[in-house]
Structure 1
Amino acid sequence: MLIFNNTTSSSSSFLLTAFPGLELVHVWISIPVCCLYTVALLGNSMILVIIVTERSLHKPMYYFLSMLSVVDLCLTITTLPTVLGVLWFHARDISIKACLIQMFLVHTFSFLESSVLVAMAFDRFMAICNPLQYAVVLTDMMSLVIALTVFLRQVVFFFPCALALISVSFHGGHELSHPFCYHPDVIKFAYSNAWLTNFWGMFLQLYLNGTDLLFILFSYILILRTVLSIVTPKKQQKALSTCVCHICAVTVFYVPMISLSLAHRLFSSTPRVICSILANIYLLLPPVLNPIIYSLKIRVIRQAIVQLLQFKSLRDTKVRRLWGRWNRRGITSST
């Protein structure tokens, strides 16, 4: 958890910004923002609980979905303290060290989500293009290997970035464009060895996310070719319907991310309030929408959620009944 100091920035800290020009209504803006954070936390936590407890969901597709929920939870928790701190308490001051830690975590989990989406695309490719080999190739062990590969990929590429950040010095006392620390925004205030971390940040953005997106697009080209070769329209629709959730997850992740990157790197004249809105969409849209999309579209998860809520409702009813009986006994004994 990041620690807030005060609202006056020093040479060893930065000033965070929520919505420039709308400071007087930050409290009101915080209501929908807080609701979205709550939905993200509860939704992804519920998906995780259902996948862990429901044995019928112990399959590669749902393993990757649980990985996506874990990444979304981590991304939400990483940015939650600073965003709500600025909106609720005007706690804009954040130390450079805390800012760098948050920046590193935000981008690590963001790239992790991109890698998980690639793993999910491979799962859909195998399920539609090679259904007979699906159970043979995507075993539990292979799912574990893919998960470890996704994790090690981040370590290999982000460890040099972490080393480069250690040697970078920053001009403190500057105002950032977001309520969290974002690399293109922070690196503008570096005055030593900035070129190295700036180059490495652009390389990771273009290489990792670019490669991931190309792989996903290529997998869907193959999927579409396979679906078009199916004679029965009903089977075509069924095959495509299994990809809807993943396509939505890819869209809600890459569109805000690309928009925010373009606003910072190519369109320097973009109003700060637009950058701030894009940043909050980039942070909140995937964690909020992913559990909603999957719970609405996948019948097994939807049924598990209904059963979970019914069990909670039944349990609360039993507790109320026991409480009522205990009260009646207390009244009877006292009289």
Structure 2
Amino acid sequence: MTHLHNAPIAVVGGGSWATALVKILSEQAGAVHWWLRDTEALTHIQQQGRNPSYLSAVTIDTHKVLLFSDLKQAVSQAAAVIVAVPAAFVEAALAPLVAEDLAGKVLISAVKGVVPARHQLVTSYLQSALGVPFAQQAVIAGPCHAEEVALEKQSYLTIAAATPAIAEAVAQRLSCAYIKATPHHDWEGIEYAAVMKNIIALACGIAHGHGYGDNFQAVLVSNAMQEIAAFLQAISPTETRNLSTSAYLGDLLVTAYSQFSRNRTFGNMIGRGYTVQSAQVELGMIAEGYYAVQSIQHLRQPLDVMMPITEMVYGVLYERRPVKEAMQHLAQQLY
């Protein structure tokens, strides 16, 4: 099913990005089925029309947005399902579902992360674990921060899918007065780029927190684009990509520089001397890059591709390499 204009769409997740997507979807016709694990938050939204923990300034139209604590019920009558939970929680969140629950539905990943235990993109997990063909999937990419969606600032989404009609249909459903959504074919490259930009944002945060300035960050981000390009070329060598477009470069820039980037914020704490555990506690939300760097480091090993920024972040976060030493070594490799 590719015509989604008036069809119910289910959103799985209760965080900032899920809340932003619910807001966008509710701007158009068609019901939104919203599943939240947190039953207290669900009750609050039903009574007050606001998510108490995330983007609490956003008003939820509860006449159009139907709330569910039962995931099977939430997806049963939906034509499409948007998965918008942190990558580390994807398996647990979708555990109540079996392949039959999703048969014939469009599955849309808004995760921008890797399923950690499996080192899989979410699209690959949906295909292997729940039997959803790649031809029935789509990926939502930026550049777009949930906080600016809440403020209705002009923003852009890229909807990538193997099936052009699905990309077009999802893009139409996610377009509104302040969102321009554009269809794209490179679902795998865009999904990997969305994962890797979080690693780069961590690196930018670490550098800033440790006292490196704007000159260094400009070089860091320039080198990061080359690193992303080299990885994507190694992963899928037959695909030709223009990485200067917003789905790749734009998404990287907003995550690397924005005050709303939790990955940059997390990295900044590490650069200032926080331990990983203390930074996670203070941030209070998941920084996708923390899990992503472990998976990308695992995936790059057999590819024989140079990725010094990824290696630096991995070394600092997982091998407890001193930030000063790791950054000095990285600085010598950039140009």
Larger % of strand: which?
Answer: 2
Q: TM over 0.5: same fold?
A: no
Q: TM-score w.r.t. structure 2 length?
A: 0.26
Q: TM-score w.r.t. structure 1 length?
A: 0.26
